[in-house]
A and B are shown apart, each in its own frame.
Chain A
Amino acid sequence: MERHVRLRCSQLGVTFESVHGPVRALDNLTLETREREFLSIVGPSGCGKTTLLRVLAGTLVPGEGEVSRIPSPSDPNQAVLLVSQERSLFPWMTVLENAAFGCEMQGVPRRQRESRAREHLRRLGFAGRERAYPHELSLGMKQRVAVARCFLSDPAVMLMDEPFAALDCERRLHLQQALLDLWEQNHKTVVFVTHDVEEAILLSDRILVFSRQPGRVVAEVPVRLPRPRASAVTMTEEFLLLKRLVASKLGLYAGWSEVTA
């Protein structure tokens, strides 16, 4: 099935000025993401993943190249929203206000947006704490709210910047499952950045492996594991093969010779 391209960037280049001189964060990067696709980007830390997402979200203007947002026939919406790693919630808003913020900006009336926010928060296991402030929440809870807000705003493309990176293993598994379940309901286009190979395979349809700085795509790995998925899939033979493949492309696990697939 041929899917529409929703977001395309071509020949992106970004250079930051630092005290030690210019740092090349992204170099000649071209990628596209298709409708209803869950795309992951894995790479070593400092490979320009966050920079790429900020460019895709439109909050950072690249020095070279361009990003195009493409409306699809079924969905004219072109909004691209980012769930960042930290400072993803406004400290001065309650959980409910934070979750409903996207709808608020879209002009949805208060009562309507709050009931929708409550519904999403409940599905993410958040009932009863809607009036709390972010500083009263654990990191995992904060990220749930940020993910809920993103889904509630119903953008064309969702960008997620290692949203679960700072969590312990168990919480991370919970949230990955919650994300998979939410995603199953609407199959949004997602670009998910992580440095965790298992997480990338579990969630995605396609994985792009990035090189060390400056960020370039060194490999593209399609993931054809059946959906809907649950975390038990990580125990299967196919999963392990994919993990070996991606890890070898990343240059992890010294001693392994490159797997050819």
Chain B
Amino acid sequence: MGAAWWLLPPAVFLAGWQALAARGALNPLFFPAPSVLAGACVEMLKSGELGAQVGATLLRMLLGSVLGAVAGLACGLSMGAVGAIRRSLEPFISALNSTPKLVLLPMLMLFTGVGETARIVPVALTSFVILAMHALDAVRGVNQAYVELARNYGAGRSALVRRVYLPASLPGIFTGLRLAVGRSLVITVSIELVGARNGLGSMIWMAWQTFATEKLYIGVIATATLGALFHRGLQALEARLIPWGSRAERAA
């Protein structure tokens, strides 16, 4: 019962919008009625256009963020484990963190030509940086009391990593993962907006240029929905994988 409350604000908003549109108070060129949008959406789903665009965005985003996240995780964990690696890499990672990845697109296109590589690398870098920084923080934040406890019971280096450092940093790594996936979607759509022939970003841009207002709306809504779905999905996964975490505690 309580879970459905979040439906109330958008329902009120859409009903108001629909009512105003029905009275002709809104210019349909700028504010098409929700019923019109829904019709257009069904149309696009039937023709397979929406599916294709969402698929193209998802492919870029997942490819980029998986590659970046794996590399970032490895990098962050090794920085956490070995001080020398941390000290030599940390400045570059902070620099990369504060660089908007979109600005790298022209440079990448210069190197690799106008193609998927140039579009995916910024997505991968986004995930890489976030995961590296979160994994590093998570490892360094492991409570030394647990390390001492495990050592007292005779844990060697590999047991410490496997039984203490990894599980203790899992919640922090997951926070990084959620952030990385969210940002990856943002950067993927941004890149498609300026330089791709398919994907949600490209669809939104084309819709703007051809004044296809319905498509514009549908593109934005689809992007937001994707973001929300990923967020919820990762939360559910986190609760499964980290039953001892603070989220599980609150849910219980």
Q: Which residues of A contact B (CB under 8 A)?
A: 54, 57-59, 79-82, 84, 86-88, 90-93, 101-102, 104-106, 133-136, 149, 153
Chain A neighbourhood of B150, CB < 8 A: 90, 101, 105
Q: Which of B149, B152, B249 contacts A90 (CB 8 A)?
A: B149
Contact B152 A92 (CB under 8 A): no
Chain A neighbourhood of B143, CB < 8 A: 87
Q: Which of B145, B164, B244 contacts A84 (CB 8 A)?
A: B145
A90 and B153 in contact, given A134-B244, A135-B244 (Cβ under 8 angstroms): no
Contact A153 B243 (CB under 8 A): no
Chain B neighbourhood of A84, CB < 8 A: 145, 149
Contact B244 A102 (CB under 8 A): no
CA distance A136 to B152 in the complex (A): 25
Chain A neighbourhood of B145, CB < 8 A: 84, 86-87
Q: Which of A81, A93, A104, A135 contacts B152 (CB 8 A)?
A: A81
Chain B neighbourhood of A136, CB < 8 A: 252
Contact A153 B168 (CB under 8 A): no
How many chain B residues touch the partner (CB < 8 A)?
22
Chain B neighbourhood of A104, CB < 8 A: 163
CA distance A134 to B153 in the complex (A): 18
Q: Chain B at the A interface: mostly helix, strand, loop or mixed?
A: helix
A87 and B149 in contact, given A79-B154, A92-B167 (Cβ under 8 angstroms): yes
Q: Which residue of B lies closest to A102 (CB)?
A: B153
A153 and B153 in contact, given A59-B148, A90-B164, A135-B249 (Cβ under 8 angstroms): yes
Is residue B197 within 8 Å, beta carbon to beta carbon, of the partner chain?
Answer: no
Chain B neighbourhood of A133, CB < 8 A: 243-244
CA distance A134 to B146 in the complex (A): 14
A91 and B152 in contact, given A84-B145, A105-B159, A135-B249 (Cβ under 8 angstroms): no
Is residue B222 within 8 Å, beta carbon to beta carbon, of the partner chain?
Answer: no
Is residue B232 within 8 Å, beta carbon to beta carbon, of the partner chain?
Answer: no
How far apart are B178's CB and chain A's nearest CB, in angstroms? 19
7 further A-B contacts with Cβ under 8 Å, apart from A82-B149, A102-B154, are A59-B151, A87-B145, A92-B244, A101-B150, A104-B163, A134-B244, A149-B153
Chain B neighbourhood of A134, CB < 8 A: 244
CA distance A111 to B167 in the complex (A): 22
Contact A90 B148 (CB under 8 A): no
Chain B positions 223 through 252: 1 when the CB is less than 8 Å from some CB of chain A, otherwise 0: 000000000000000000011100001001
Contact B154 A106 (CB under 8 A): yes
How far apart are B202's CB and chain A's nearest CB, in angstroms? 44
Can you name 14 A-B pairs with beta carbons within 8 Å?
A57-B152, A86-B145, A87-B146, A90-B149, A90-B150, A90-B163, A92-B168, A93-B163, A105-B154, A105-B159, A134-B244, A135-B244, A135-B249, A153-B153
Contact A88 B153 (CB under 8 A): no
Q: Nearest 6 pairs between A and B by C-beta? A: A92-B167, A87-B145, A105-B154, A133-B244, A59-B148, A91-B244
Chain A neighbourhood of B168, CB < 8 A: 92
CA distance A201 to B130 in the complex (A): 56
Chain B neighbourhood of A81, CB < 8 A: 152-153
Chain B neighbourhood of A105, CB < 8 A: 150, 153-155, 159
Q: Which residue of A lies closest to B156 (CB)?
A: A105
Q: Which residue of A lies closest to B143 (CB)?
A: A87
Is residue B170 within 8 Å, beta carbon to beta carbon, of the partner chain?
Answer: yes
Contact A101 B148 (CB under 8 A): no
CA distance A90 to B143 in the complex (A): 11
Chain B neighbourhood of A54, CB < 8 A: 148
Chain A neighbourhood of B170, CB < 8 A: 92
CA distance A106 to B145 in the complex (A): 20
A59 and B164 in contact, given A87-B143, A92-B170 (Cβ under 8 angstroms): no
How far apart are B252's CB and chain A's nearest CB, in angstroms? 8
How far apart are A156's CB and chain B's nearest CB, in angstroms? 13
CA distance A105 to B146 in the complex (A): 14
Q: Which of B165-201 contact A (CB under 8 A)?
A: 167-168, 170
